[in-house]
Amino acid sequence: MRVLVTGGAGFIGSHFVRTLLDDGLPGLEGASVTVLDSLSYAGNRANLPAAHPRLEFVRGDILDLPLLLDLFPGHDAVVHFAAESHVDRSIDDANVFVRTNAEGSQNVFEACRRTGVERVVHVSTDEVYGSIDSGSWTEREPLLPNSPYAASKAASDLIARAYWRTHGLDLSITRCSNNYGPYQHTEKLIPLFVTNLIEGVPLPLYGDGANVREWLHVDDHCRAIALVLREGAAGEVYNVGGGNERTNREIAELLVELGGADTSAIRRVADRLGHDLRYALDDTKIREELGYAPRVPFEQGLADTFAWYRDNPAWWKPLKGSGRA
Ligand code: NAD
């Protein structure tokens, strides 16, 4: 089997590729992988093995349709991770988000259609649903995105659906909650707080820290994507939750404890514009229909993630001070 992975040099995509090459994704053992990644500020070639007999790396942009039409033939499946992924950046400049996430995704689906790719998974996010005060979202919930990032991802979900419905593309969509784990850019909440703690720098907590997110280890997310790739139904959406709801303040406090610091390290800063209060997914469908269950206990995953950043300063130090981190 040949799988093409867009955005495979980023945080989640590279975890997917490394795990696949280690034969850690059931059903994809022995598969070869082509990674297509533009190596934006968020992509890093060093997140992948320098050389592997089953890995081909292509530096290129999903906005470049002729490139996709050249590259996609011969692949059995495409897993589409490539995106602009940081909400704060989308508040500063939404343009590249719309281009990459909406137009770029359309190119990916179009290239799949034209070159006869048999199976596609579009990796999306719980943020497309908006914000929910209580209860949780099923896949049937309307899309009410609030940030330009979430809106651009919602656009890509709708385009994906249209390619299934209009062209019969065998495509499924995953909508996952917040991921954490190794190799995540230091602009994101957990790596930012962990690396600040390691460097003895205060943790900037947005507003009162009451915003609730549901956290899932990247390894559980990647296993869910592989499961949907193998067994998901065309045109269907699968929520991937995890059930670990925590306020941002609770995350900060857990990390402070892991870092052996005290809560005076936490500094309240002006809140993010339009900051969604709470995300919560109902992921009964993927659990009941595909037999999915997350494996990584949150406290253990968080401690392992902290240890990874402590052990790998050479990976993250160059990112600090670049951009937002
Ligand atoms: P990331 O920002 O770490 O990685 C994105 C990758 O896409 C990078 O390697 C980047 O170089 C590449 N890329 C960006 N623009 C490109 C373009 N025009 N052409 C080709 N490659 C391009 O993001 P991530 O956190 O790994 O997220 C991956 C996917 O998962 C995204 O679609 C995101 O919306 C989704 N998602 C993320 C989370 C999360 O918590 N991080 C949760 C749910 C869903």
Same domain assignment for residues 54 and 170: yes
Known catalytic residues are: 126-127, 149
> 249-279: b or e for each residue (b if 16 or more CB lie within 10 Å)?
bebbbbbbebbebeeebbeeeeeeeebbebb
In terms of domains, do 118 and 19 share one? yes
Domain assignment of residue 267, yes or no: yes
Using CB distances shorter than 6 Å, the residues near ligand 1 are 6-7, 9-13, 37-40, 42-43, 61-63, 81-85, 100, 104, 123, 125, 153, 176, 178-179, 185
Residue 322: band (very low, low, confident or very high) from pLDDT cuts 50, 70, 90 = low
Average pLDDT score over the chain: 96
CATH number of 8's domain: 3.40.50.720
> How many Å apart are CA 187 and CA 80, to the nearest integer?
22
**Does 65 share its domain with 196?**
no
pLDDT computed for residue 167 by the predictor: 98
Distance CA 309, CA 184 (A): 10
CATH number of the domain at 251, please.
3.90.25.10
Q: Of ligand 1's atoms, which has the minimum distance to the CA of residue 126?
A: 43
Indicate whether 144 and 200 sit together in one domain.
Answer: no
- The tens digit of pLDDT for each residue in 247-256 reads 999 999 999 9
**Pairing status of strand 32-37 against strand 55-59:** parallel
How do residues 61-83 score in pLDDT, each as one tens digit? Answer: 999 999 999 999 999 999 999 99
11-49 confidence digits (pLDDT tens): 999 999 999 999 999 999 999 999 999 999 999 999 999
145 occurs within a structural domain: yes
Based on the fold, state whether residues 68 and 160 are members of the same structural domain. yes
Domain that holds residue 143: 2-179+215-240
Mutate which of 12, 80, 238 for ligand 1 pocket (most atoms within 8 A of beta carbon)? 12
What stretches of 168-312 show up as alpha helix (H) in DSSP?
189-199, 218-231, 248-258, 284-290, 298-311
Q: Report, in angstroms and rounded to the nearest whole number, the Rg of the chain calculated over CA atoms.
A: 19
Q: Does 62 share its domain with 81?
A: yes
Give the Cα separation of 51 and 43 in Å (integer). Answer: 17
The reported pTM is 0.97
Closest CA to 271 of 208, 211, 207: 207
Both 143 and 44 in a single domain? yes
